């Protein structure tokens, strides 16, 4: 495949380069996925890192995946888009920590996401964290969403309020 002049040789990747790429063509997504009623928590908080490019630059994302040793490259032919998606909490935490000193535009979102991930600790399940931590995580997710331009906190989530034991709108 013919090299595009602006493409960087994978041997020259650095944490600073990845952070710059993320600031420009990446996103930090904080979502609450609805769970089945069998679970104690109505929503499962998730943090996801995306790096997006036109489909013709999929090689770049594959090289980045190899460098980061994380994520999956997905293709949306309908949108001529390819993206590297990282969802594993340990990988997200590791990569955000590597990028944080170099971020400019998304530094606040990354810092909040790291706070959320630290509240999870080593717990794999949401129901193993305290009600207080769960409430704090939900508020921080809303904060990230309000900082992101397209989501802007427009969508509200129904959540379990551990203090009043009733469902409330966030």
Q: What would the pLDDT profile of 135-144 be if each residue is shown by its tens digit?
A: 899 899 999 9
Which tens digits make up the pLDDT trace of 11-68? 788 999 999 999 999 999 998 888 888 877 888 889 999 999 999 999 999 999 999 9
In angstroms, the CA 145 to CA 33 distance is: 14
96: domain CATH number? 3.10.28.10
pLDDT (tens digit per residue) in 98-127:
999 999 999 999 999 999 999 887 666 665
Q: What is the domain extent for residue 140?
A: 10-169
Task: Identify whether 150 is part of a domain.
Answer: yes
Quick one: pLDDT band at residue 6, thresholds 50, 70, 90? low
pLDDT score recorded for residue 33: 86
Q: pTM score > 0.75 for this model?
A: yes
Does residue 156 contact residue 170 with C-beta atoms inside 8 Å?
yes
Q: How many domains does the chain contain in total?
A: 1
Spatial neighbors of 115 by CB under 8 A, at least 6 apart, are 140
- Domain membership of residue 5 (yes or no) is no
- 92 near 48, Cβ under 8 Å? yes
Specify the length of the chain in residues: 170
Instruction: Tell me: pLDDT of 162 over 80.
Output: no
């Amino acid at each position: 495949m013919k090299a595009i002049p602006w493409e960087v040789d994978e041997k020259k990747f650095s944490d600073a380069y990845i952070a710059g790429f993320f600031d420009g063509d990446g996103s930090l997504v904080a979502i609450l996925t609805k769970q089945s009623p069998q679970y104690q928590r109505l929503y499962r908080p998730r943090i996801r890192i995306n790096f997006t490019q036109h489909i013709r630059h999929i090689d770049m994302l594959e090289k980045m995946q190899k460098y980061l040793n994380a994520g999956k490259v997905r293709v949306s032919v309908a949108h001529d888009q390819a993206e590297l998606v990282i969802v594993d909490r340990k990988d997200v935490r590791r990569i955000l920590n590597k990028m944080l000193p170099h971020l400019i535009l998304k530094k606040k979102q990354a810092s909040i996401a790291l706070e959320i991930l630290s509240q999870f600790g080593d717990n794999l399940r949401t129901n193993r964290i305290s009600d207080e931590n769960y409430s704090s995580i939900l508020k921080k997710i809303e904060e990230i969403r309000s900082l992101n331009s397209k989501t802007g906190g427009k969508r509200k989530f129904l959540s379990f309020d551990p203090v009043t034991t009733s469902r409330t709108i966030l």
